[in-house]
Amino acid sequence: MERPLWTFVPRGTAAEIADRSRVLQDKGVAGVYGTQVYGPPWAVLSAAAAGTTTLGLGSGIAIAHTRSPFETAMCALDLDRLSGGRFVLGLGTGPRDWAERYFGVPYERPVTRLADVIGVVRHVEQHAHRADMPPFEGQITSLSFPALAPTAPPARPRLPIWVAALREPLCRLAGQVADGLIGHPMWSVEWALDQAMAALAEGCARAGRDRAEVQVQPWVTVSIDRRAADAVALAKPNVAFYASIAQYRPYFDAHGFGNEADRLAESAAAGRLFAEADRLVPDEMARSFIACGEPDQVAERIEPLWDVASSMLVAPVRWGLSREQATAQFHACEALFGV
């Protein structure tokens, strides 16, 4: 059975990204993601596309609310044409704080807004290359296109859209309207196999779809060390970063770590998060959300995910680590998984 693995676009100049992406392609990596933390993901993906011919390319994750839905649709279709039909549009809501404080955009009804963005992409995909494009009426979004000159036709009839999810509402949305579900880097194995898959199946049932129609791609975070205790210690800042986000508290509380999330949020507000991560994140909490330990232990921990996964992204811990620690984790991940 094939086990396609994805990773992130390598860092560097455009030429370096193209060269390093070609190396990943030659190694058999299935695809690479351009991330959106501050800037949009399109530029680095264009560089990766220019240096490759078969490597998959994805936005991981394009935050749906930071730009107009029409622009998102046009960027996605452009990248798919540019890459010869290799692009996957990964969409998510992102944290409330990022939307409201960094980008200055509203965050009300984020799941509904994301559904509208997907609807706009499908609408543009179907109509923009033809004359007289009709208006779009979503649950929140209303767009009209008077005098819109027809665009170039899409590279293929249907652009894959994958929804990134932490909790059940977005898993259900993926089942209803998307082609794939991307699992959050903090998904525990148990959550992925139980709550996430149940919500995905519920969404598919609501839409009258076969669950097999939806790709599932867990994003797995690993911390690898020949000393299992050291691997756990290196995982704690990564858990602390996500658990300190107030919006994510219900997720951590559902795992029994609500009080820890509260203390981590207080530590983050005081500017001490990474300095206090080792004290505030119990070993059990680190192991719950990150595959920690010796190489064999890490591989064994994530093995059950292949029961539901169509592909997987495996990434090493990085938050709160020194450059030397982050580099060591990158090489350990590469040695175990080839990415």
pLDDT digit string (tens) for the chain, length 339 residues: 689 999 999 999 999 999 999 999 999 999 999 999 888 999 999 999 999 999 999 999 999 989 999 999 999 999 999 999 999 999 999 989 888 999 999 999 999 999 999 999 999 999 999 989 999 999 999 999 999 999 999 999 999 999 999 999 999 999 999 999 999 999 999 999 999 999 999 999 999 999 999 999 999 999 999 999 999 999 999 999 999 999 999 999 999 999 999 999 999 999 999 999 999 999 999 999 999 999 999 999 999 999 999 999 999 999 999 999 999 999 999 999 989
Q: In angstroms, rounded to a whole number, what is the distance separating the alpha carbons of residues 161 and 8?
A: 18
Contact criterion met (CB below 8 Å) for 304 and 193: yes
- Give residue 37's pLDDT: 83
- Give residue 27's pLDDT: 95
Q: What CATH number was assigned to the domain covering residues 1-159?
A: 3.20.20.30
**3-state secondary structure labels for all residues of the chain:** CCCCEEEECCCCCHHHHHHHHHHHHHHCCCEEEECCCCCCCHHHHHHHHHCCCCCEEEECCEEHHHCCHHHHHHHHHHHHHHCCCCEEEEEECCCHHHHHHHCCCCCCCHHHHHHHHHHHHHHHHHHCCCCCCCCEECCCCEECCCCCCCCCCCCCCCCCEEEEECCHHHHHHHHHHCCEEEECCCCCHHHHHHHHHHHHHHHHHHHCCCHHHCEEEEEEEEEECCCHHHHHHHHHHHHHHHHCCHHHHHHHHHCCCHHHHHHHHHHHHCCCHHHHHHHHCCHHHHHHHCEEECHHHHHHHHHHHHHCCCCEEEEECCCCCCHHHHHHHHHHHHHHHCC
Q: Say which residue the tokens 């004290």 belong to.
A: 279
Q: In angstroms, rounded to a whole number, what is the distance separating the alpha carbons of residues 56 and 77?
A: 15
Contact criterion met (CB below 8 Å) for 76 and 124: no
- Give residue 1's pLDDT: 61
Exposed / middle / buried, residue 157 (Cβ in 10 Å: 0-12, 13-18, 19+)? exposed
Contact criterion met (CB below 8 Å) for 320 and 233: no
Q: In angstroms, rounded to a whole number, what is the distance separating the alpha carbons of residues 116 and 136?
A: 10
Contact criterion met (CB below 8 Å) for 72 and 117: yes
Q: In angstroms, rounded to a whole number, what is the distance separating the alpha carbons of residues 112 and 303?
A: 34
Output the pTM of the full model: 0.95
> Of 94, 105, 110, which Cα lies nearest the Cα of 182?
94
Contact criterion met (CB below 8 Å) for 289 and 281: no
- Give residue 38's pLDDT: 82
